[in-house]
Amino acid sequence: MKNLIKNILIPFSCLLFLLFLYFHIEGITDFFVQYIDAEPKIALQPISPYQKKENFLFVQSTDHFTPYSKHDLKNIFYTIVNNGWKEFTFYCPSEYTNCLNDVRNLSQDQNLLTHLNNFVHPYNGFSDVVTVISESGEITVQIHYFYTEQEIDAINKKIENIYSEIIHEDMDTVEKIKTIHDYIINHTKYDIERNNEKESNYHSYLAYGPLLEGYATCNGYTDAMALFLTYLNIPNFKIAMTPDSDVGHVWNALYLNGEWLHLDLTWDDPVSDDGKDYLQHKYFLITTSELKMADSGEVMVQEHEFKPSIYLEFKEN
């Protein structure tokens, strides 16, 4: 009897299962297709308090991490750095057939990466980017940042002390910028040793150098000024020449009274042959046409050649 029931139930169960598949095959197929084709889940991390909220013409923050073009890749790399993420993984979709090759080219383009770095907060600026590319389409970006937490803490305290000491609320914005510009220059010497020997006892390539040690290269001057501009809630970024050699230069760009202006503390704190300290305002809040005029004359300056195709805010300036 048991065998009879068993012989009837098993075929009957199989028949019911086949009937179920027949009437629901489309839904089942759709489920598995969606499961297989679904984009891998991207793990988002806490965002740095130093993330810049404003977007720029050349590059913008994004919350879409599946790229379909070079522009998407550029924005993803920028967002990773701007968000202060030390490591982030995203994926190339099958539709973007040249994605892996474009990632390789971007990750090896040091000029482009340097310019992307100029649009983020100094504390989110990187010293190195390592990109691990899998043939399966997985891209892992690892960021090594310039500033340590200890340096950031010391610099922030110094900025607050300087600000409370030299800035008065009855000053207008230009007066505040000028007072900070003059303070940094009057308390800083250009680090000739690092410039010539590529080594120094000072952190002159960071804001730590001018603000806590009294020495800076153009990077240090620019980072220090950028931190104060951000403290004043003034939109700003760093702007760099695109050199044909290892020689480079960087200075500040800021948005004030409806226009983008240049500000170069390095060239307003010239290295003199007589050893005296000089303070100038030749490169203080000037337009691009004024910058070109300042670079002309008896001594031609060629360190302010920049690409308007990158620093688009100055395209019509």
| Vertex 109: Cα angle to 107 and 114 (nearest 5) | 100
Give the residue-averaged pLDDT of 244-271. 89
Q: What's the pLDDT at 14?
A: 52
Q: What's the pLDDT at 30?
A: 43
Which position has the higher pLDDT, 165 or 24? 165
Give the residue-averaged pLDDT of 164-170. 96
Q: Quick check: 166 and 179 in contact, CB under 8 A?
A: yes
Percent of the chain with pLDDT over 70: 83
126-144: b (≥16 Cβ within 10 Å) or e: beebeeebeeebebebbbe
Pick from 140, 105, 121: nearest CA to 51: 121
State the chain's mean pLDDT as an integer: 87
Q: What's the pLDDT at 35?
A: 41
Q: What's the pLDDT at 131?
A: 97
Give 39: exposed, middle or buried? Use CB within 10 Å, 0-12, 13-18, 19+: exposed
Q: What is the pLDDT of residues 119-152, one digit of tens each?
A: 999 999 999 999 999 988 999 999 999 999 999 9
Give the span between the Cα atoms of 290 and 296, in whole angstroms: 10
Least confident of 69-83, 229-243, 268-282: 268-282
Q: How confident is the model at residue 271 (pLDDT cuts 50, 70, 90)?
A: confident
What is the phi-psi region of residue 226: left when phi exceeds 0, alpha when psi lies from -120 to 50, beta otherwise? alpha
Q: What 3-state class would DSSP assign to 115? A: helix
Percent of the chain with pLDDT over 90: 73
Beta bridge partners of 145: 126
Give the residue-averaged pLDDT of 242-269. 89
Give the residue-averaged pLDDT of 154-181. 97
R_g of the chain computed on alpha carbons: 28
Q: What is the pLDDT of residues 46-92, one digit of tens each?
A: 999 999 999 999 999 999 999 999 999 999 999 999 999 999 999 99
Q: How confident is the model at residue 276 (pLDDT cuts 50, 70, 90)?
A: confident
Q: What 3-state class would DSSP assign to 131? A: strand
What is the phi-psi region of residue 239: left when phi exceeds 0, alpha when psi lies from -120 to 50, beta otherwise? beta
- What is the CB neighbour count within 10 angstroms for residue 187? 13
Q: Quick check: 204 and 216 in contact, CB under 8 A?
A: yes
Q: What's the pLDDT at 82?
A: 97
Distances (CA, A) of 71 to 61, 78, 96: 11, 11, 12
* Alpha-helical segments (H) within 187-279: 192-197, 208, 218-231, 265-268
Give the residue-averaged pLDDT of 17-35. 46
Q: What's the pLDDT at 26?
A: 47
**Structural domains of the chain sorted by starting position, each given as residue range(s) with its CATH number in brackets:** 70-145 (no CATH), 149-314 (3.10.620)
